[in-house]
């Protein structure tokens, strides 16, 4: 697992809506990891005040909440703009390893799809130390049934400055509009930077704005 030399915590201020979304996403990711390791969650009985019905804690309920939010369509908040700026928190094996700042410029090929160029700067969180700088390209798609969601995938390449090695990232992400000009998203990436042993996937939760 990658560990960047950071002793300072990374903190950001979010609106209550964004904070609730990020909490739900991280909860779902933790539960997914638990399921992948075949860990069993205990059943927690809950007694109702009137009907005495028992309810069991279900990982699917949390994951389903996140999934339902991303798959629900809001036609009043279509994805717009030719550019996106985002700030995210990167997690690997459940540990916050860094923060990512990205800028994306889109070049539409149709009303709902196109290509983009993107740059990502990774900060270790200690005195503004830049860990890596990468630039790359990818493609995006806005589903006709969910105009407020943007699906994309891309490939980045650059340099990891603390190790003086080349760095490459293959990723896929989903972004959903929160307001006419802001969004929240989740990225799953596989990163390779010259290490002898391939690293675990990196999950990044981000918020940003369009322009």
What are the average pLDDT values for consecutive 10-residue runs of the chain, which has 211 residues? 46 43 47 42 43 46 64 88 96 91 97 97 84 97 95 97 90 96 96 74 96 95
Pair (182, 149) in one structural domain: yes
**pTM exceeds 0.75:** no
Which pLDDT value is given to residue 61? 64
Q: In the prediction, which pLDDT does 184 show?
A: 96
The answer to whether position 4 is within a domain reads no
What is the reported pLDDT for 124? 86
Find the domain containing 147 and state its range: 76-210
Residue 54 neighbours by CB under 8 Å, 6+ apart: 45, 46, 47
Determine the Cα–Cα distance for residues 12 and 22; give it in Å rounded to an integer: 12
Task: Say which CATH number the domain at 146 has.
Answer: 2.40.160.20
Q: What is the pLDDT of residue 62?
A: 55
End-to-end CA distance of the chain: 35
pLDDT of 17? 47
H or E segment and range at residue 22: helix 16-36
């Amino acid at each position: 697992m990658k560990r960047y030399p950071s002793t300072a915590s990374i903190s950001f201020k979010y609106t209550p809506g964004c904070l609730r979304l990020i909490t739900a996403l991280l909860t779902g990711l933790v539960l997914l990891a638990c399921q992948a390791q075949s860990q069993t969650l205990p059943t927690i009985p809950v007694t109702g005040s009137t009907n005495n019905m028992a309810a069991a804690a279900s990982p699917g309920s949390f994951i389903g909440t996140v999934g339902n939010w991303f798959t629900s369509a809001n036609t009043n908040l279509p994805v717009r703009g030719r550019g996106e700026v985002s700030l995210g928190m990167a997690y690997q094996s459940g540990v916050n390893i860094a923060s990512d700042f990205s800028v994306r410029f889109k070049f539409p090929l149709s009303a709902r799809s196109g290509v983009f160029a993107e740059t990502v700067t990774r900060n270790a969180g200690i005195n503004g130390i830049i860990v890596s700088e990468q630039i790359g390209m990818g493609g995006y798609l806005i589903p006709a049934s969910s105009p407020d969601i943007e699906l994309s995938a891309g490939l980045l390449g650059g340099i990891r400055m603390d190790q003086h090695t080349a760095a490459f990232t293959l990723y896929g992400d989903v972004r959903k509009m929160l307001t006419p000009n802001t969004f929240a998203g989740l990225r799953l990436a596989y990163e390779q930077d010259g290490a002898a042993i391939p690293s675990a996937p990196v999950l990044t939760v981000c918020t940003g704005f369009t322009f």
